[in-house]
Amino acid sequence: MPERTVAVASRSGLHARPAKIFVEAAARQAVPVRIRVGDGKVVPANSMLGVLTLGAGHGTEVTLEADGPGAEEALAALADLLSRDLDAEGAEGAPDAGAGAAGAA
């Protein structure tokens, strides 16, 4: 199963607006993505409640995992999103992480 580990760059961690941006991007992926902190509970990345319960603050390393066609692309898009300070970018600066390679054309 493909996995990616990334540190949460947003100053507020995965709370409020950064969590909303992340969850919405996860929901747009072609495959279901799961997220966890360390060896903790795995939750669906498209679940706002699940993501908030992780308590992932600034600098916390989270692991993303997915299976199936498009899993690597989904993980890359979401890892890229988490590696940026979404608090500083604001809503209009948030990328369409669901576009993947097709959106780059």
Q: Which of 4, 8, 10, 15 is catalytic?
A: 15
Neighbouring-strand partners of residue 64: 4, 35
Per the annotation, the verdict on 58 as an active-site residue is no
Which residues make Cβ contacts (< 8 Å) with residue 50, sequence separation at least 6? 35, 43, 44
- Catalogue the active-site residues: 15
